[in-house]
Amino acid sequence: MSKYITTPIYYVNGEAHIGHAYTTFIADTLARYEKLKGEDTYFLTGTDEHGQKIEESAQKNSKPTQEFADEISASFKNLWDEFDISYDKFIRTTDAEHKKGVQRAFEVMYAKGDIYKDFYEGHYCVSCETFFTETQLVDGEFCPDCGRSTNIVKEESYFFRLSKYENALLKHYEENPDFILPRSRANEVINFVKGGLRDLSVTRTSFTWGVGMPNSIKDDKHVMYVWLDALMNYITALGYGTTEENMRYWPASVQFVGKDILRFHAIYWPAFLMSIDLPLPQHIGAHGWWTRDGEKMSKSKGNVISPKQVADVYGVENLRYFMLREVPFGQDGDFSQRAFIDRINSELSNDLGNLLNRIIGMSGKYSDFEIESVNVLKYHKKEIDAMNVVLDSLDIFMKNFQTHRYLEELWKLFSIGNKAIEEHAPWVKMKDGKKDEALSTVALVANILAKASIMLHPVMPRTTDIIADALNFSISHESYRELVQEKKLLKLFNIKPVPPLFPRVDEPLMPEAPLAQPNITKESVKAAEQSLCEGDNLIEIGQFFQTSLKVGTVIAAEEVEKSKKLLKLQVDLNEGKPRQVVAGIREFYSAESLINTQVCVVANLKPAKLMGMISEGMLLAAKDEDGLCLIRPEKPKKAGTPIG
């Protein structure tokens, strides 16, 4: 059975950031995993290069639009090549074959009656390339997604009959509950569709940078609107509308997207596919956003992370491991250098790197680097059985895109290896003349390292190739079949010494994110000094401990009708039933973005009533001129964990 895996095509109005890298890493990891298992797999990534934003960005940079798009697209492709991303095709929406495929889809939809011409007047957000109704806007003017001002646009347009597919979409969601993963993201999409779908403007006349109309439709003043153009890349890359050479890979196994573009991929895209009579993808996988040290990244704050900068100083393999290990798929993640360094030193250097070094050292000392597995089952059946249990458990985590659990489970193999060395102490066995037993322990750990490196290969391909070379084998579908599926052991071989794979990191290698500077004036300093002198703001330690602060997990969230500020949350504090907390954070967080994330809760406040609803606690947050952000634990903690 073939597999088709895609990233979104990245918009070329700026260079790649850490969120782009995460999407690409997880897609690349899954593609490598499927290929390792022997599946016929096709992996697509690329760039989205049309639309008003690109045209305007090119003008600001005083460059022809195509030249501007070429440069930014090349920066993405060069970075992915530098990172060894194993894509089978890098598509650009300026490719001639893509344009032909989009035009063919337009013709099919038009002939079917799903596209018609009319006039459109509405509020348009250039940044999001989206029209909004008056009721959807914030304060009657601002985009509900990005917060920027919208423009009133009135122009002739071709429309796609999105409303026609409302019931078909709802039926598909119901019959395919795993169509959107994680499932917690599905409610947002379903509720949007149930609210009623309006027909979608799919062409524009106010700019020219886009795919022109098909020759069969004589209307040259129109260009296709970015979402119809961009979404079609997933099938034009396979030859739709032209050669059809790789259409056997459709439908896609999984299409990875950021949660900010889930609506387009889970509503518009399926409707387009229904219109042109193609099957829908099996899964749309929506991941969360990345913050830095708990703060939203922005250019104005100077805390945006360049994946190339991180890779240049820490190594791309370490970056891949950290991002895929740190955060459950679907949740927001936080990039902290301290957390990154902790994982390098404890998990990569200590657990994996030192284990390999110990085996190289012992084999060199005891057997001139020769390793033979002949006595492993005789002396280490318990460890072999435990290793096989771990290996058999891994596949389900990768199928559900839970790379953090996949790696957490995989790391148990290194624990088995390190524990075996301590328990069986080969150096003692050698002194006691039990060389066979000593060498069997060395061979056991060599086999653990070999099998673990195969399963780690999709995440850290360069590193695991070095380990495999040291153990005198190569990682391939054949070695996966023999060592993992058939549970065979390594044959007689000579191990090769290698330099330490993960040198310890003692201090951050990049500048830390700049701290927000307080607005200090003479008056504020004077007021603070006076307040301290008078003791007005000082409390006793006992007073502080009267406040109960706990970590909570948000298990449900929804907007409060008739309020632009309030969200109603159900928060698990490990009390048997969740608490309802009403929080004024809607301007800064969407309801769906909070589900399955953790917050800090003041847990012993008296219940209060807000807009007729009981609120049983308060969330800790910080707010300044750049907005509000919730205070969260650096790493996931058990619900109900006290803070103090």
Residues 380 and 470 in one domain: yes
Query: Of 479, 494, 509, which one is at a domain's C-terminal end?
Result: 494
Model pTM score: 0.78
Residues 475 and 568 in one domain: no
User: Is residue 565 in a domain?
Assistant: yes
Spell out where 246-397 has E strands. 254-258, 283-287, 290-292, 295-296, 333-335, 370-371
What are φ and ψ of residue 279, in 5° steps? -65, 155
Which residue range forms the structural domain that includes residue 370? 335-494
pLDDT at 540: 59
Residues 487 and 580 in one domain: no
What's the CA gap between 552 and 572, in Å, rounded? 5
| CATH at residue 439 | 1.10.730.10
Residues 490 and 574 in one domain: no
Kindly write down the DSSP assignment for every residue of 584-619, as one continuous string: S-TTT--HHHHTT-EEEEETTSPPEEETTEEE--EE
pLDDT at 147: 77
pLDDT at 94: 94
Residues 469 and 600 in one domain: no
Binding site annotation covers 600?
no
pLDDT at 523: 55
User: Is residue 437 in a domain?
Assistant: yes
The closest alpha carbon to 350, from 407, 408, 426, 415, belongs to 415
Residues 558 and 411 in one domain: no
User: Is residue 446 in a domain?
Assistant: yes
Kindly write down the DSSP assignment for every residue of 198-239, as one continuous string: PPEE-EESS---SPBPPTTS--TT-EE-HHHHHHTHHHHTTT
Per the structure, the count of domains in the chain is 2
Residues 483 and 396 in one domain: yes
What's the CA gap between 249 and 6, in Å, rounded? 11
Residues 360 and 462 in one domain: yes
User: Is residue 242 in a domain?
Assistant: no
Binding site annotation covers 533?
no
Query: Of 437, 463, 494, which one is at a domain's C-terminal end?
Result: 494
Residues 385 and 484 in one domain: yes
What's the CA gap between 30 and 255, in Å, rounded? 11
Residues 378 and 444 in one domain: yes
Average pLDDT along the chain, 644 residues, taken 10 residues at a time: 95 87 98 98 96 85 92 95 98 96 97 93 78 79 82 88 98 98 93 94 88 92 89 98 97 96 96 98 96 80 88 98 96 94 97 97 97 96 98 97 97 97 96 96 98 98 98 98 98 95 94 60 51 52 71 90 85 89 88 86 86 88 79 86 85
Residues 564 and 481 in one domain: no
| CATH at residue 604 | 2.40.50.140
Residue 138 per-residue DSSP state = B
pLDDT at 527: 53
Residues 482 and 595 in one domain: no
User: Is residue 514 in a domain?
Assistant: no
Query: Of 431, 460, 494, which one is at a domain's C-terminal end?
Result: 494
User: Is residue 428 in a domain?
Assistant: yes
User: Is residue 611 in a domain?
Assistant: yes
User: Is residue 369 in a domain?
Assistant: yes
pLDDT at 162: 97
pLDDT at 532: 45
